[in-house]
Structure 1
Amino acid sequence: MDSTTAVAEQDSAIENAIAHLFGPEGRPDPYAAARTLRDAGPMHRTPLGHYVLTRYEDCAAVLSTTAWSHAEEAGMMHPTVRPEDAPEELPTSFLWMEPPDHTRLRNLVTKGFTPRMVTRLRPRISELTEQLVDDCLAAGEFDLIEKIAYPLPLIIACELIGVPHEAYDQVHRWSQDLARGFDHDYTLPEEALRARSAGSRGFMGYFRELLNERRANPKDDLLSALSQVEDRGDVLTEQELLATCITTFVAGHETTANLIGTGLLQLMRNQDQIAALRARPELTQTAPDELLRMEPSVQMTTRAATRPITVAGREFEQGEGVVILINSANRDHAAFADGDRLDVARYSDPKNPAKKHLGFSLGIHYCLGAPLALLEMEVLLDVLLRKVKDIELRDDAPVYKPNVVIRGLESLPARFTPA
């Protein structure tokens, strides 16, 4: 084989891997395509013109510095939305901001979303998880996504923010439409774009009414707390407050549901890891990080250079962007020994810690809700180990949602046997 043929075959393999990674056929397993790209090189160009980073070292470096901005994601991923419409169409709060605006908003939100507020949720999370698992045990066979993965984070997010029970179904639908809409606009069907717009505007109108209620009659919830926070005279504007509530809800609900679904699927496919958890129950405290490393709920994110800068051997001009393949970096064998293997003990040794996975990002955009997501997964594992003898997968090919960026299961047929 001459060198020209070899290059053509490599280019073809890369093109096929990119198509698989971003296409619907890649939802059940995007990791094989990601591995092909990672093995072929640290960076590749997509048909849309974006450069994708594949390796942990480069991805972590970009995420860790403010030399790369997240503020350009709307322009990179959602070119169909006019900038003047973005506040209503893409209400992401500080998620897509950089200092000083990001610093100001995150500091204010942190005053309402305190570690104490998360810690005090543990009894309620335990109570709800026990109830959901008991219902599944009584049913025998069930859809784990419908019965546990969505209800647990949905109810906790609603109770935390202050959404009343009668609105649960509606905000759940809006949340799913927004999560679907995080994919690149050019890959979304028209109905998905319309649903994202309707969901966003529905959320904004609903939370605006709820905010007015809380201002008149504050309660012990996040919405009331956020409406009252201030720092040296600085307060959240109504637009900032509404966008923050929507971001908190979608991030705290949709991504955690995906963590629960894909996490339990991994365990059901690796019964030796369930045995390891039973042998060392304390591993439930660190196993959620390994489950998220293997199956990140957010599969990729974007950054744009704020100045001329080099990454993966290429110099980027100010404003040029990259797509960070979290799904590839998290399984990079150069960063994680045997990176495609689930090891629930990987993060358990404080004297020999594994590298931080990128499932919650790094740097100033590290996920504010990470402690809550990990706590919900930890409590669920604790309850399952105590109450369930056998956790059995009832479908070897469960259905995934079409989402590329915020990836998760549509359904997961399972069976629980009582302990």
Structure 2
Amino acid sequence: MSNEASSREAYRASVLHSIGNPTHMGIENSFQYFEDGLLVIKDGHIEALGHYRELSEQLPTSLNVIDLRGQLILPGFIDTHIHYPQTRIIGAYGDQLLDWLNNYTFPEEMRFSDVDYASEVAIEFFDQLLMNGTTTALVFGTVHPESVDVFFQEAEKRNLRMIGGKVLMDRHAPEALSDTPETGYQDSKNLIEKWHNKGRLHYAVTPRFAPTCSDEQLAMAGKLLAEYPDVYLHTHLSENKQEIAWVKELFPESKNYLDVYDQHGLVKPRAVFAHGVHLCDEQCHRMAEAGAAVAFCPTSNLFLGSGLFPLEKVEKIGVRVGIGTDIGAGTTFSMIHTMGEAYKVMQMQSCKLHPIKSLYQATLGGAEALYLSDKIGNFIPGKEADFVVIDPEATELMKTRMEHCKNIEEKLFVLTTLGDDRAVSQTYSLGRRVYSRDN
């Protein structure tokens, strides 16, 4: 039995969504804002959006209109890179990438061989996502197939559009977290058959990163992508200079880090590479040509000291870019807060990141990076009704500051600067409320 919303309802509030990339369309043409708007939902999908005064006259008087005036409706946030098994090590102190993996990540991920433990964390993880208004995410599991089963089971209960996968890792890792090319292939194949395209769920072939994968295992990942061409590829790329040097040492025949993946058929549409902090132009051009995407993870890059993501360069070359929290190296589940940190990363490079551009990256841009923009990312009629209700006066400071804002762009910037999970009043998935701050 489907748990889609089967009723027809409308929501009256301020409504803001992206309709295109501001870099290509210009800021003023890339969004729609209805100060007194009406969002109409039917059978879990967007039926109509417009000004309340105009649209309400076209609808039957019997329609249930939920009055949310004073609040702001945005599309559900889309997190293009996150690790659910790292939920309980968020904020682990004092290491850069490779030491952080050995000292914190690997010991924690060993615990996910225990299905009960994995289930506990999966519940905590999804509670945090919805509390922060995130309705779609591209998610790492662990090497254990059971970790992916419980992830998808919990996503299915909440009827969320989610993407996840089992980590592939056959070297330079603890024995308890290692598979083999053969077992990694077979476990992934079984999970694809079980979960991919089941309801709103999708599978991602997930090699952790090149240093922990042999050529044989990367070849097996390529084999899976060839056999199931609509699954995702999710891995890491050019995050840390020490990591990049290690890749060069391990794969001396490859032109660069991306080429390691490319030689095994992993650079393609629906391939998402997290970080890309130190990409050269050649790698960017290859990603753009292939239709692959980068996940910009500002809080993680700052926390681990990895560097500043060159957003303007990467996007100018034509690479799709989403934004990710990268829990647990990332320091917040809040995409609102992550948008604010992205602004600071760009400021450090003498570049201005407009708040409308930030909204695009966290919603429609993420959907485009994941090839899901026909389903989610904004409020075009026919799309799935994933949305978040924002309280712009969630704190006294936000209330005071909002009173002095002149337009929606300024209000949005204040939200990304001062806001976090406290600003999320409600979260809806496929037209059904899945989180309320008041309950």
TM-score over 0.5 (shorter chain): no
Q: TM-score, normalised by structure 2?
A: 0.24
**Quick check: which one's strand share is greater?**
2
**Quick check: which one's helix share is greater?**
1
The structure showing larger relative contact order (alpha-carbon pairs under 8 Å, at least 6 residues apart) is: 1
